[in-house]
Structure 1
Amino acid sequence: MVSDETGSEAAASRGLSEEDLLFAKKIVKLDRTICVIALAACVGAAIFVFMNVPADTRVPYDGKYDRSGAGIPMQIALLLAPAFLLKLWWSTKKKDAHRMSKKGSIGSIVLGSFLVAVCVLGQSLFVKSILTVGGYFTG
């Protein structure tokens, strides 16, 4: 579906003011920056773990879906948070990512920050667990 409307006309047709669009652009830029910083931290932590723990280290897991009883390979466990953060960052790069109301912008920064915090926390828990199992903390 192709539209003949320009950005401002399309926003006006959805009831968005120029002020709403400018505020949303700032929020999207902030979201993008937070994602990049968190992604760098998660990738840096993963690299630290890869350099200090044997490659066959596994995250202990005895849950319902553990078929082997050996746990989750550390490479897969440490890939989850960066992959999700990359997806969040990619969503802020869309051409129409800033087309939202002020309430939508505030919701975006709150939800986006929460998701980024969960990813960083999850990554740190995986890192601590893998370093412990891999023997990094034992002198």
Structure 2
Amino acid sequence: MKIELKTMNQSEYESFMARSIPEYAKEKQKAEGLSDQAALELAQKTFSELLPYGLQTEDHHLYCFTLKDQSVGELWLAKRGDGCFIYELYLDESLRGQGLGKQLMALIDSEAKSLGFKVIRLHVFGHNKIATKLYQSCGYEITNLNMAKKL
């Protein structure tokens, strides 16, 4: 399977926001023990602050991963200094576990280089062991580590 990267259009952006905000809220809830309402409010606030002008927000690049002209995931890169930060990397659940992760990461590397970035940074929730393993296998190194202990 050959996945390609294309710039996100307005309709795709709206679908991205409708999926991504609740998913981010769910991840924050899992990682930080927030209530449903608090997690959703935080997610909505975060997205509105980071993307105040949607697709036209300066220094933010939003893409769709496509397979046979069908959207199968999204990528959100933002300029940070001489590099970029991956705010979102999503692949449809039906395609996970099929060895496509490294292909996606290679597409991201290529796009980041074409935009002139020298480094790619990302965040991964501690409970997402599969993603952590993928990123490390693609050359990413842990640069910070937050820890918590429930009492």
Structure 2-normalised TM-score? 0.31
Structure of greater Rg: 1
> Whose strand proportion is higher, 1 or 2?
2
